[in-house]
Amino acid sequence: MASPAETTRLALVTGSTGLLGRAICHRLAREGFDLCLGYARSGEAAEQLAEELSASSGVTCSTLGFDVTSAKDVQAAVGQLAESRGRVDVLVAAHGVAPLALLRFTREDDIQNAFRINAEGTVHCVSAVLPVMQRQNWGRIVILSSAAAEGRTGQAVYAASKSALRGLIQSAAREYAAYGVTLNSVAPAVVEGNPATQSDQREKLLSDYPLGRFVTPDEVAAATAFLVSDEAATMTGQNLIIDGGRF
């Protein structure tokens, strides 16, 4: 198998059609990565994005539909990708849901859904790509976490589902370091373009940010691009918080 330095690297991005997923795909395409756009239900949007990226950056883009909450589905999808393309160099787990409610008002189905998608779904994706990356002796995994994992009012369940990823990242980073695989997370605060930034609560939210503005999708994408680069080769098991000074 050719080393990543000898071939174009392939990145699988889950949640590819979301606000952050799209920005990350555009950034990685500009960096020269071939892309596989993972989606759950937005197949048409993923196809349109793939065409857009191929036209603008000249990279090879494909789409792949699968349910992150099903370990069997994820394993089959990653296996199909690895067999057809010969490798999977990068995983960016950008899928997620964000139930927003005070803890005592959070519905049981929202609790279960948050953990199934944000926590279990990410475990499934990471577990599926690690054997492929181990065989390659090279891999980069970046998980989209959230600054809310540090604790935010009205986000207890969301915070819990995202903070669970810290143990996954730090443990797997130790387990696979010897194979040239790194695992890190990017944890943004409220991102510009999020519905909350376009509501009547915008100014109130902004008052919590010393820098006076929200994080942009492109800034999250830039951090992700750094973590999958050769320059970040010795950075693993880390959580990069991007919160505009709201710590």
Number of Cβ within 10 Å of residue 211's Cβ equals 11
Give the whole-angstrom CA distance, residue 224 versus residue 27: 9
Which stretch of DSSP H or E encloses residue 30? Answer: helix 19-30
What contacts 195, CB < 8 A, 6 or more positions away? none
Task: Please report which residue ranges of 58-179 form alpha helices under DSSP H.
Answer: 71-85, 108-114, 121-136, 156-176
- In the residue annotation, 158 being an active-site residue is answered as yes
- Residue 90 phi, psi dihedral angles, 5° rounding: -135, 135
* Three-state DSSP class for residue 170: helix
Stretch (H or E) spanning 218: helix 217-227
Catalytic residue among 158, 176, 179, 209: 158
Length of the chain: 247
Using an 8 Å Cβ cutoff, are 134 and 151 in contact? no
Could you list the active site residues? 158
